């Protein structure tokens, strides 16, 4: 096992506050002053009574007669939500006055996140964007091939997962063996929904035993500057479309176990166009 570093292997995609528009809304333009709820309360809308998501779990309602505007962002209990104070989640909204929510606790080095340095590269990297139909990738490097769900079968030519393994199987630390991406604040530690990779290249192990495992040709080189100091490297790939996210900025959290049963957790902020 290598020394602990500041990088993290739970890729935390910061569910942020830049997504524009909403499938639940029926209008609205840019501009206006920021409301206590982190949304533009003076932003015009076209259909009184229409609603849209805000601050993840909140709802805004279009109100008014002659000049309708979006009201404050309210939670299910009627309380006003303030984006950027931990309530800004996966909803689609035009702005947040406090920026992205805080990073999930598992993104901090130490404890369960005892070997974050095995995550050596991300694409897109923090601050970069990816479009619909694109991919999110992470490279893992360690002295043993990273462990995936027991019994999972990966096509040795294409890297496609042809047979899902036991994706409910958990390591002794209580987290899934299968590499998983969580969208904050629906993170691993809060019981959020895991998103599993669709492609695996390089080295992987579909048993829980430390070793070289299996190999899939065709791995792309990790981003420039990535340090591959150990013998085994894997490239794990997630489909943007499979995540079901609207355009906006997100914190995503990846939980991945390395070849000697430790795990890394890392955080990257990515914009989906």
- Residue-wise pLDDT tens digits, 176-219: 999 999 998 889 988 999 999 999 999 999 998 888 899 999 99
More confident site: 12 or 200: 200
Mean pLDDT of 29-50: 51
pLDDT above 70 for 52: yes
Mean pLDDT of 258-272: 83
pLDDT above 60 for 38: no
Q: What is the pLDDT of residue 127?
A: 79
Q: What is the pLDDT of residue 91?
A: 38
- Expressed in angstroms, the distance from the first to the final Cα of the chain is 37
Q: What is the pLDDT of residue 224?
A: 92
Strand partners, 3: none
Q: What is the pLDDT of residue 13?
A: 36
pTM of the complete model: 0.65
User: What pLDDT, in 10s, does the model give residues 84-128?
Assistant: 433 333 333 223 333 455 678 888 888 888 888 999 999 999 878
User: Residue 55 — very low, low, confident or very high, per pLDDT cuts 50/70/90?
Assistant: low
**Exposed, middle or buried by CB within 10 Å (0-12, 13-18, 19+), for 23?**
exposed
More confident site: 80 or 201: 201
More confident site: 83 or 179: 179
* Strand 135-142 to 119-123 pairing: antiparallel
Strand partners, 70: 62
More confident site: 80 or 169: 169
Element (H, E) at 241: helix 240-243
Of 248, 232, 224, the residue nearest 94 (C-alpha) = 248
Contacts of 58 (CB under 8 A, 6+ apart): 37, 73, 74, 75, 81, 87, 91
Mean pLDDT of 132-141: 95
Please say whether the beta carbons of 235 and 193 come within 8 A. no
* Strand 58-63 to 69-70 pairing: antiparallel
| Mean pLDDT of the residues in the chain | 76
pLDDT above 70 for 35: no
Q: DSSP string covering 47-65, please?
A: STT-EEEETTTEEEEEE-S
Mean pLDDT of 38-50: 63
Distance CA 46, CA 219 (A): 49
**Exposed, middle or buried by CB within 10 Å (0-12, 13-18, 19+), for 57?**
middle
């Amino acid at each position: 096992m290598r020394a602990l570093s500041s990088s993290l292997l739970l890729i935390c995609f910061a569910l942020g506050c830049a997504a524009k528009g909403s499938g639940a809304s029926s209008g609205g333009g840019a501009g206006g002053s920021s409301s206590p709820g982190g949304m533009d309360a003076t932003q015009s809308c076209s259909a009184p009574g229409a609603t849209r998501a805000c601050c993840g779990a909140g709802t805004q309602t279009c109100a008014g007669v002659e000049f309708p505007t979006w009201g404050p962002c309210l939670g299910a209990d009627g309380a006003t939500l303030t984006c950027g104070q931990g309530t800004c989640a996966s909803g689609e909204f035009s702005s947040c006055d406090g920026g992205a929510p805080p990073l999930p606790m598992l993104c901090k080095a130490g404890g369960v996140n005892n070997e974050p340095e095995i995550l050596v590269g991300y694409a897109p990297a923090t601050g970069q964007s990816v479009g619909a139909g694109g991919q999110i990738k992470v490279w893992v490097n360690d002295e043993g091939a990273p462990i995936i769900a027991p019994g999972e079968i990966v096509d040795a030519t294409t890297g496609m997962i042809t047979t899902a393994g036991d994706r409910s199987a958990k390591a002794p630390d209580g987290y899934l063996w299968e590499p998983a991406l969580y969208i904050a604040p629906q993170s691993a530690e809060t019981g959020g929904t895991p998103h599993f990779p669709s492609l695996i290249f390089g080295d992987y192990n579909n048993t829980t035993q430390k070793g070289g495992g299996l190999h899939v040709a065709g791995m792309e080189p990790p981003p420039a500057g990535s340090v591959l100091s150990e013998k085994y490297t894997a490239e794990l790939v997630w489909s943007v479309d499979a995540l079901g996210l609207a355009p906006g900025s997100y914190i995503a959290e990846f939980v991945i176990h390395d070849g000697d049963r430790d795990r890394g957790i890392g955080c990257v902020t990515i914009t989906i166009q």
